[in-house]
Amino acid sequence: MRITKIDLYRAAMPMKTPFKVAIGTTTISQSIFARIHTDAGHIGVGEGNIFTPVVGETADSVWAIGPAAARALVGTDPLDIEARARQMRKLFPHNTTLRSALEIALWDILGKAANLPLFAVLGGRRRPVVTDNTVGLESPAVMAERALAFKARGFVAIKVKLGTDLATDLERMRLIREAVGPGFALRVDANQGWDRTTARAALRALAAYGPELVEQPVVRADIDGLAELRRGSTVPLMADESLFDEHDALRLVAAGACDYFNIKLAKAAGIWTALKINAIGEAAHIPCMVGCMTDAGIAISAAVHLASARENIVFADLDGADMLAVDPVAGGFGYGAGGELLPATGPGLGVELDAAYLGGLPHQAVE
């Protein structure tokens, strides 16, 4: 089997409401969609969702370099995903979002060629994945109101964005805990917003509100700081922006820097590296989360299949498609009761892109 053509589409998807975190605000979600054609008639679809403050790519940069990446793949074997992933890492080492779109499409082709859903291709079973939903940065009162609304919708866990000044962050957490009540799962994400001193004080004070974990309290490069904070914290710590690939995972393990890993396909450049990160985590007794940016349904579906297939992935933050005013993707999964997600049982990802929607997008074709 050979790749004969790759279509790239540039999508700008409005959010229901602006989504603000410590390192940036998203009002329009930017994705690149890929459709990879083969001489066997199989077409794989993929998506990479671009959040510049984390990955460093922009929609313009991904759109500019996309045809070069596509040209490198045309004529190659789409089923040899290891070779394609290594090829893309060598040629485009810092373009993880673009690579994730192309690689996800290759996994979709593999599933369709095998006539198996992706979770089965990965050697797993179809098990439910329970996602939290996220309250972005707003005033404490607004955040508490939104947390309560997520609880009313049936979600059983909420991610709370913090990472600004300590007094306001603590007030946010106090009001949210009062709103949702004791025992409700709250996960804090500072998105690198604190320095070591502030993070140390925050972890001590936040413990009173019983968070399950605190994610990325300090800047991504400060592995030593993360390890120091972990040694003094009663609250478990999760690495996110400090973790892109298996090499980062090894560094975090060696430093004793975190209790959990957050794997995102846009950071890991797809499933191939995500599997490596999870394996290192499992060997080091570090459970994993699979997270997202503000992804539409293709990337979320790929993440749901991955999480379903790996039991060491015990947390999910896959609410991106729920934040979009309109998701142009059908199938793959659905937001069920309690935030439960189940992967599709059709071949590959089990998703379809709306043809009329694609017809209105900027398009590049490489043959």
User: Is 246 found in the same domain as 155?
Assistant: yes
User: Is 104 found in the same domain as 18?
Assistant: yes
CA angle 83, 111, 307 (to 5 degrees): 90
Reported as a single tens digit per residue, the pLDDT across 253-298 is: 999 999 999 999 999 999 999 999 999 999 999 999 999 999 999 9
User: Is 128 found in the same domain as 94?
Assistant: no
Residue 333 pLDDT greater than 90, yes or no: no
Tell me the pLDDT band of 335, cut-offs 50, 70 and 90.
confident
- Determine the 3-state secondary structure of 227 from DSSP: helix
Six-digit token pair at 147? 């947390």
5 among known catalytic residues: no
- Which is higher by pLDDT, 331 or 36? 36
What pLDDT is recorded for position 244? 98
Query: 284: domain range?
Result: 120-351
77 among known catalytic residues: no
User: Is 37 found in the same domain as 101?
Assistant: yes
User: Is 253 found in the same domain as 181?
Assistant: yes
- CA 42, CA 110: separation in Å to the nearest integer? 9
Six-digit token pair at 220? 């991504």
319 among known catalytic residues: no
Bridge partners for 30 per DSSP: 12, 50
User: Is 238 found in the same domain as 129?
Assistant: yes
What pLDDT is recorded for position 337? 86
Reported as a single tens digit per residue, the pLDDT across 120-148 is: 999 999 999 999 999 999 999 999 999 99
Over range 312-327, report the average pLDDT: 96
Give whole-number Cα distances, 268 to 162, 261, 271, 277, 306, in Å: 24, 12, 7, 9, 13
- CA 282, CA 126: separation in Å to the nearest integer? 20
- CA 286, CA 334: separation in Å to the nearest integer? 28
Contacts of 318 (CB under 8 A, 6+ apart): 129, 131, 290, 291, 292, 295, 300, 303, 304, 307, 341
- Tell me which of 47, 103, 108, 215 is the catalytic residue: 215
CATH number at residue 244: 3.20.20.120
User: Is 286 found in the same domain as 235?
Assistant: yes
Over range 203-222, report the average pLDDT: 98
Residue 53 pLDDT greater than 90, yes or no: yes
User: Is 300 found in the same domain as 209?
Assistant: yes
User: Is 168 found in the same domain as 69?
Assistant: no
- CA 210, CA 187: separation in Å to the nearest integer? 9
- Tell me which of 57, 169, 240, 295 is the catalytic residue: 240
Over range 340-358, report the average pLDDT: 94
- Which is higher by pLDDT, 333 or 98? 98
- Tell me which of 108, 161, 295, 319 is the catalytic residue: 161
Residue 330 pLDDT greater than 90, yes or no: no
161 among known catalytic residues: yes
User: Is 18 found in the same domain as 150?
Assistant: no
Give whole-number Cα distances, 130 to 133, 189, 313, 334, in Å: 10, 18, 11, 11
What pLDDT is recorded for position 297? 95
Residue 4 pLDDT greater than 90, yes or no: yes
User: Is 137 found in the same domain as 97?
Assistant: no
What angle, 0 to 180 degrees and rounded to 10, lies between the N-to-C axes of helices 297-309 and 271-283? 30
- CA 143, CA 253: separation in Å to the nearest integer? 34
User: Is 151 found in the same domain as 45?
Assistant: no
- Amino acid at the residue 58: T
Tell me the pLDDT band of 193, cut-offs 50, 70 and 90.
very high
Relative to beta strand 24-38, strand 43-50 is: antiparallel
For residue 212, how many other CB atoms are within 10 A of its CB?
16
CATH number at residue 12: 3.30.390.10
- Tell me which of 7, 47, 132, 189 is the catalytic residue: 189
Query: How many separate domains does the chain show?
Result: 2
264 among known catalytic residues: yes
Residue 168 pLDDT greater than 90, yes or no: yes
Over range 27-49, report the average pLDDT: 98
Reported as a single tens digit per residue, the pLDDT across 87-96 is: 999 999 999 9
